[in-house]
Amino acid sequence: MIRDIVIWPDPILKEVAKPVERVDDALRKLLDDMAETMYAADGVGLAAPQVAVLKRVIVIDTSPRQEGQRLIHLVNPEIVKTEGTTTYTEGCLSIPGEAEDVDRADKVWVRALDYHGKPFELECEGLLSIAVQHECDHLQGTLFVDHLSSLKRELIRRRMKKLKADQAEERAEKKAAQVKGAKRHESAL
Ligand SMILES: [Zn+2]
């Protein structure tokens, strides 16, 4: 099931997500929904707070842009080691249409539970490393805009507020059109 992606600014995106106690069928359903939502939105990563669930859960699939990759589920992820620095132009499914350079670690090692609750450790390079850092940030209530200057962040905030207002207006118009359509149908009887 595709879930709605929360658009920034929204208070839920600033919350710290809670650790998962048990990887059960309900959690696997969340993981499946998140992967479906990520693919439908053409993203390479998604964190649970972005679908309004405050759990430490991430899905990542950088395979469209990185060779040898696949879908990865990370439950209670923890970056245990970093190496070097790099700059990457990042976007975010919660901040559509925006992309800015963010300074990150070049390589990271992440420890997490997998789809079946089994612990694993993963060495991440390139886009996968960026995605792991970006998504782990989400679990701490941090977005890529928080790594930018306040001036840049405020400009993006203004554009996002406008986007959200436009979307709300569009939804209201659609609803009004539906009501009108229904009325027309009624009077045709
Ligand atoms: Zn994001």
Q: Taking Cα atoms as reference points, which of 11, 43, 72 lies closest to residue 3?
A: 43
| pLDDT digits 0-9 by tens, 36-76 | 999 999 999 999 999 999 999 999 999 988 899 999 999 99
Q: Taking Cα atoms as reference points, which of 5, 77, 75 lies closest to residue 40?
A: 5
Q: Which residue in the block uniquely carries the two structure tokens 């990563």?
A: 45
Structure tokens at 70: 């696949």
3-state secondary structure of 169: helix
From the CA of 84, how far away is ligand 1's center (Å)? 22
Contact 135, 60 (CB under 8 A): yes
Catalytic residue numbers, as ranges = 135
From the CA of 12, how far away is ligand 1's center (Å)? 13
| pLDDT digits 0-9 by tens, 72-127 | 999 999 999 999 999 999 999 999 999 999 999 999 999 999 999 999 999 999 99
From the CA of 178, how far away is ligand 1's center (Å)? 34
pLDDT of 184 strictly over 90: no
Radius of gyration of the chain measured on its C-alpha atoms: 19
Contact 38, 63 (CB under 8 A): no
